[in-house]
Amino acid sequence: MGGFFAAWLGSELGCPFVAINPASNPAVSLRKHIGAFKSYSGAQCVLKKETVDVYNSLPFRMDGNGFVAIDMGDKIIDPQQTLRLVGNNLPVVTFPDGSHRFDHMPQLAAVIRSIFFNPSASKNVTPTMTT
């Protein structure tokens, strides 16, 4: 949900953002997880239908000064669906293989540095596909 909220808050507040493997429609994608489950840390949790329904009022924002980073091997959030949804609305950088936990952080850090922290770079630099 971090990628979803990075895009939503960044767009809402006008802040630069990077949405990593974002859930583009959590009101739909979280439905299959309603009920009891174990978190990554092993804690017992419960996801309620009411919690999932709240996301109907929070659309995935595709505006603002940010971009989307996708590991194409993500088995949790369909990378192709994210690419179709984002389309030409936001710049996208993709990495081959990887996972939902995002396995290309050093490479992404280099992209972020070149876009947001390089004083000679244009503010409107569009990330390109990275391998």
Arch. (CATH architecture) of 1-24+60-131: 3-Layer(aba) Sandwich (3.40)
Boundaries of every domain in the chain: 1-24+60-131, 25-58
d(CA 104, CA 117): 19
Tens of pLDDT, residues 84-125: 888 788 889 999 999 999 999 999 999 988 887 775 654 444
Tell whether the model's pLDDT for residue 66 goes beyond 90: no
